Chain A
Amino acid sequence: MTVSSWRSSPRHALAADALVRHVVTFGRVLREVGIEAGPGRISDALAGLDRVELASADDVYYTLRQTLVARHDELELFDRAFAAWFLRAPVRPPGRALPPPPRSRQQLARPSNEAAPSAPEHDGEGSRHELGSSPHELLREKDFAAMTPDEFDRARALIAQIAATRPLRRSRRLRAHPRGDRLDLRRLMRESLATGGDPVERAFRRRRDVPRRLVLLCDVSGSMEAYTRALLLFVHAVLGTGPGVEAFAFGTRLSCLTGDLTTRNPERALERAAAAVNDWGSGTRIGASLKEFNDVYGRRALSRGAVIVIVSDGWERQENSTLGREMARLARAAYAVVWVNPLKGSPEYQPLAGGMRAALPFVDRFLAGHNVRSLEELATVLAGIERRHAA
């Protein structure tokens, strides 16, 4: 088909090569907005279009969508790209492509020294230089918010080492095991062939322990930034231990971090997340964020049987009834709930903030997480955690 005839019948009868070009270019548009549409998918799309009525916009739309998109959360992006490319509608660029506001980048890049509240003067024996050369022990005790960039860099290595252990659950899958508690009938049968059907040697299997799902919900509001960075490095290291770890960031809203954390530098992921979930100045909405988690992810049973770790100072800027109710929902579904509050690192701290008080009845373990040592404690707790409430 020539260009002129294509012009004369723009609606139907796309020439095969024009169609191919069209779809291939559309694939590139999709990749630009972050939808992975590889050659396999493109060829599925073309094969599909070959079988449907090209004059029907609906059928073309669904054929492309079903062959090119594999995730529910990409549907909106796809719709925008489809509108832009095939319907030539003017569209705004997708939200996730927006650069984070410069202020967040600056804020999160390095916690400034002034931002460190009540830097514990007593454990600094001299200038920051001397501290920098002090042994690991001192560094492990130091509050994250009081660390210099150098110290934080060294703490980073320590944090990565801690995260290796994970809570386990019993899998239903069986593995051969000499002291197992179930007969391995298949092996038994084979081995008893030699003895005329008498099972002389008994073969056993037992259930295997597999890592329990771990879900981390990190408060990334301004008051938490120094600690969140450290905790996120921890999360990043835990993610490296295998599947079944999910991480979320929350501020005024909730955002899933898992994909970002596995593929990217954790601190950049944090910057992006903080930019995405914080409306500057409007404060943290813990209850609302937990509600969003329960509604969207809890309903998909992400929290069922999981160990949930919430990292937050518990400063709720809204009424606390939502927080209490959502904590109850969360605790019902979860295997155990751990709350990490860096403020608890201070000996004078009392959980008086309304939000923290509302949440505590539903928390199995309440930990500090303000320095490397307390992260070690967190890792130990996670490795051996038991459900406190039997319900």
Chain B
Amino acid sequence: MYSPGPRLETVNAFATIDELEAALREASYLPERGLSTALFLSLALEKPVLLEGEAGVGKTEAAKALARARGARLIRLQCYEGLDVAHAVYEWNYPRQLLHIRAAQEGTVSDAELFGREFLIRRPLLEALEADEPVVLLIDEIDRADEEFEAFLLEMLSDFQITIPELGTVRARRRPSVVLTSNRTRELHDALKRRCLFHWIGHPTIEREIAIVRLRVPGVPERLAAEAATFVRGLRALDLAKPPGVAETIDWAQALAALGREELDAEVVESTLGSVLKYREDFEAVRDGVLLALVAEARAGR
């Protein structure tokens, strides 16, 4: 009744890692070699890729960039505790069903009619399976979902099909490329990990971080980008509750550029540090401690 044939096809438009890397760069994302390798293999082997790393190192951004680079549609499922099938896969449109029954007057609505496709609300996973165009499915922060959902996801990722009791089995028309991200709030189940390629994203090197800032903050003075990146690198070496990620460096550089700054000084750092350090303890420790030394280091380019 409702199952388009198993016409699984992924077109890997990239013959080599270098080609993919160039496309990502085109899409305003500067990947390190390990990440490009992971994304390349994910496309080549048609396996989901699991990206882990500290908050703010660009895990989610990598998936978005992959979608842009492939000219694919990005479908994102944000995970949270208690995420269930109704929010991840599909739900029935109850108000419409009710109206439909009322409109039919005679009470002769059949089960098949009531649970037909026009009453189906597609959530991200179903949408990714049914899409006709190429899709990058981003399952963001999978570690936040509970373990029951992980088990469900495992099943979906192995067969790329979902069973809706009232409709039958929906098979993927084309296999979406799947990117999962995790902040490691908990260790994921081994079976799920076995399905995935695994890549750990660390903080970028200072040269790469400067390049990222210059790419993402158009018009940022070169000197400011370098000083901001150096300053943030200094922060990461400290013992902070939440070391800043690349995302914070970008935010900060944006703020500094918006203020028309050409370079760092203690005053502007203190007034904008809130966009880099999100914990009060961290903020105070740096403000009252090493701020001046870090500014001096950043200005000296060390």
Residues on A facing B (Cβ under 8 Å): 36, 38, 40-41, 44, 47-48, 51-53, 58-59, 62-63, 65-67, 69-72, 75, 171-174, 185-186, 188-190, 192-193, 195-197, 210, 243, 294-295, 299-302, 304, 329
Give the interface centre of B16, B17, B106, B193 by most chain A CB atoms within 10 Å: B17
> Are B41 and A40 within 8 A (Cβ)?
no
Beyond known contacts A70-B50, A295-B241: 12 more, CB 8 A cutoff: A38-B194, A62-B34, A63-B37, A66-B49, A70-B194, A72-B200, A172-B83, A174-B84, A189-B98, A192-B98, A196-B101, A300-B186
Report the stretch among B2-10, B107-115, B130-138 that lies at the interface.
B107-115
Q: Does B44 contact A (CB under 8 A)?
A: yes
CB<8 Å pairs between A and B, sample of 11:
A52-B41, A58-B33, A58-B34, A59-B33, A66-B34, A66-B37, A67-B197, A70-B190, A70-B198, A75-B200, A188-B94
Find out whether the CB atom of B242 lies under 8 angstroms from the CB atom of A189: no
Name A171's contact: one of B16, B146, B241 (CB within 8 Å): B146
Give the complex CA separation of A338 and B292 in angstroms. Answer: 41
Within 8 Å CB of B81, what residues of A? 172
Task: Evaluate contact between B16 and A72: CB separation under 8 angstroms.
Answer: no
Q: Which residue from A48, A59, A69 sits with its C-beta under 8 Å from B45?
A: A48
Please report the C-alpha to C-alpha distance between residue A36 and residue B106 in the assembled complex, in whole angstroms: 63
Partner of A70, one of B17, B82, B106, B193: B193
| Closest chain B residue, CB of each to CB of A194 | B107
**Top 10 closest A-B pairs, CB basis?**
A172-B82, A196-B107, A197-B101, A70-B193, A62-B37, A301-B185, A185-B94, A51-B44, A300-B185, A66-B197
Q: How far is the CA of A28 from the CA of B199 in the complex (A)?
A: 21
A253 CB to nearest chain B CB (Å): 16
Q: Which residue of A lies closest to B147 (CB)?
A: A243
Rounded to whole angstroms, the CA-CA distance of A48 and B41 in the bound complex is 6
CA distance A71 to B143 in the complex (A): 13
**Contact surface of B with A, Cβ cutoff 8 Å:** 16-17, 33-34, 37-38, 40-41, 44-45, 47, 49-50, 52, 54, 81-84, 92, 94, 97-98, 101-102, 106-107, 109, 111, 114, 143, 146-148, 183-187, 190, 193-194, 196-200, 239, 241-242
A302 near B40 (CB under 8 angstroms)?
A: no
Residue from A48, A53, A66, A189 in contact with B16 in the complex, judged by beta carbons closer than 8 Å: A53
Which of A52, A174, A188, A210 has a CB less than 8 Å from the CB of B17?
A52
Q: How many A-B residue pairs have CB under 8 A?
A: 118
CA A67 – CA B40 in complex, angstroms?
12
User: Looking across the interface, which residue of chain A has its beta carbon closest to that of B50?
Assistant: A70
The reply to whether B94 and A190 contact each other, CB–CB distance below 8 Å, is no
Provide the residues of chain B in CB contact with A53, threshold 8 Å.
16-17
**A171:B82 contact, CB within 8 angstroms:** yes
Selected from B16, B47, B146, B241, the residue in CB contact (under 8 A) with A329 is B241
Minimum C-beta distance from A260 to chain B (A): 13
Nearest A residue to B111 by beta-carbon distance?
Answer: A193
B107 x A70 contact (CB < 8 A) = no
Contact A48-B98, Cβ < 8 Å, known A66-B199, A171-B146:
no
Kindly list chain A residues whose C-beta atoms are within 8 Å of the C-beta of B97.
Answer: 189
| Chain A: minimal CB distance from B138 (Å) | 18
B143: A residues at CB distance < 8 A: 300
Q: Contact: B241 with A299, CB < 8 Å?
A: yes
A189, B200: Cβ atoms closer than 8 Å: no
CA of A41 to CA of B194 in the docked complex: distance in angstroms?
A: 7
Residues of chain A contacted by B148 (CB below 8 angstroms): 173
Residues of A within 8 A of B38 (CB): 62, 66
A38 proximity list for chain B (CB < 8 A): 194
**Distance in Å: Cβ of B238 to nearest Cβ of chain A:** 12
Closest CB of chain A to B53's CB: distance in Å?
9
Using CB atoms, name the residue of chain A closest to B81: A172
A336 to B16, CA, bound (A): 52
In the bound complex, how far is the Cα of B187 from the Cα of A71, in angstroms? 8
Pick the contact of B92: A44, A67, A189 (CB < 8 A). A189
Chain B residues in 8 Å Cβ range of A189 = 92, 94, 97-98, 114
Residues of B within 8 A of A47 (CB): 45
Shortest distance between the CB of A167 and any CB in chain B (Å):
16
Q: How far is the CA of A47 from the CA of B44 in the complex (A)?
A: 9
- Given known A58-B33, A173-B84, A193-B114, contact A66–B198 (CB-CB < 8 A): yes
User: Which of A41, A51, A72, A188 makes the CB contact (< 8 A) with B40?
Assistant: A51
- Chain B CB within 10 Å, residue with most, of A66, A172, A192: A66
Knowing A51-B40, A173-B148, A189-B114, say if A44 contacts B183 (CB, 8 Å).
no
| Complex: A59 Cα to B40 Cα, angstroms | 11
Residues on A with C-beta less than 8 A from B37 are 52, 58-59, 62-63, 66
Tell me the smallest distance from the CB of B215 to a CB of chain A, in Å.
22
Complexed CA–CA distance, A341 and B84 (Å): 41
Residues on A with beta carbons closer than 8 Å to the beta carbon of B52: 72
CB pair A300–B94 under 8 Å, yes or no, is no
Q: Contacts A62-B37, A172-B82, A173-B84 given: A186-B94 contact, CB under 8 Å?
A: yes
Contact A190 B41 (CB under 8 A): no
